[in-house]
């Protein structure tokens, strides 16, 4: 089986990678948060570009990307513009969103680029263009109000795969423990039927905390942890996340 390899990491094997989101407005705060995350052992860094105060200027955005790329020498750099409808900080018209994705890909500065598959009229074409520029893509879908049923979640992850995303990501909001189980079941099914396709899944909020640390069992290859300001409800600290992930990994290796 050939795994997706980014920098020194084989994605989807062993313990889930710890990704720390950077949700700051100004450049200096972005760089300080990024350095802190790397120093604390983050294996991936997500720059939440929708928080950046000067995102409307490509020159300013590219300058930040250059600096983050330098900070993330051995750390995977994931770039994400999370739209308002998907729980982000601002809206961006479809053509502008696609142009931003293309510019990031052409810059060769991001190791991974988040693409909101279901917010695009032709996600397959967009992802194919990003791939031609050499960009690896993580397809994403977020539900901040509810949890779809198991079949629906699996179908959406399959759609991301069919659209060409290198990784599929799904985040949901549980209202009861059963919803967390549905998310984990959908993840386990994907792991069983598509073992060579990496996915990232999580149930948000305190109720879904277990889903953020059980990826090695159910198939999620990346988990998001915070060093301060969280980008989504229910994120654990990187210190606690690392401790729990390592304990689970040790138990599974016995």
Active site residues: 142, 169
Burial of 241 (0-12, 13-18, 19+ CB in 10 A): buried
**Whole-angstrom distance, CA of residue 112 vs CA of residue 88:** 18
Q: 73 near 105, Cβ under 8 Å?
A: no
Q: 114 near 135, Cβ under 8 Å?
A: no
User: Six-digit token pair at 41?
Assistant: 């052992």
DSSP-assigned states of every residue in 218-235 = H-B-EEEEESSS-SSTTP
Whose tokens are 């915070």? That residue is: 226
Write down how long the chain is.
254
| Residue 2 DSSP symbol | P
Residue 212: which of 252, 176, 245 has the closest Cα?
Answer: 245
**Whole-angstrom distance, CA of residue 67 vs CA of residue 94:** 27
* CA angle centred on 138, ends 234 and 104, rounded to 5°: 110
Q: How far is CA 173 from the centre of its chain?
A: 16
């Amino acid at each position: 089986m050939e795994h997706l390899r980014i920098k020194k990491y084989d994605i989807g094997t062993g313990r889930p990678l710890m990704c720390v989101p950077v949700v700051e407005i100004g450049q200096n705060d972005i760089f300080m948060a990024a350095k802190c995350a790397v120093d604390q052992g983050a294996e991936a860094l997500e720059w939440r570009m929708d928080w950046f105060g000067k995102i409307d200027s490509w020159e300013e955005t590219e300058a930040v990307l250059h600096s983050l790329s330098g900070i993330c020498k051995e750390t995977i750099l994931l770039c994400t513009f999370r739209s308002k409808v998907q729980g982000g900080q601002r809206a961006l018209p479809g053509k502008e969103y696609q142009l931003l994705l293309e510019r990031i890909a052409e810059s060769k500065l991001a190791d991974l680029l988040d693409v909101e598959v279901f917010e695009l009229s032709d996600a397959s074409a967009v992802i194919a263009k990003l791939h031609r520029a050499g960009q690896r893509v993580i397809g994403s879908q977020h539900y901040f109000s509810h949890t779809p049923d198991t079949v629906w979640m699996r179908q959406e992850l399959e759609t991301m795969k069919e659209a060409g995303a290198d990784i599929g990501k799904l985040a949901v909001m549980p209202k009861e423990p059963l919803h967390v189980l549905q998310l984990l079941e959908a993840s386990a099914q994907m792991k069983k039927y598509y073992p060579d396709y990496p996915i990232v899944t999580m149930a948000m909020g305190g109720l879904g905390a277990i889903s953020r640390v059980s990826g090695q069992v159910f198939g999620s290859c990346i988990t998001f942890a915070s060093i301060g300001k969280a980008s989504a409800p229910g994120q654990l600290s990187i210190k606690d996340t690392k401790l729990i992930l390592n304990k689970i990994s040790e138990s599974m290796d016995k």
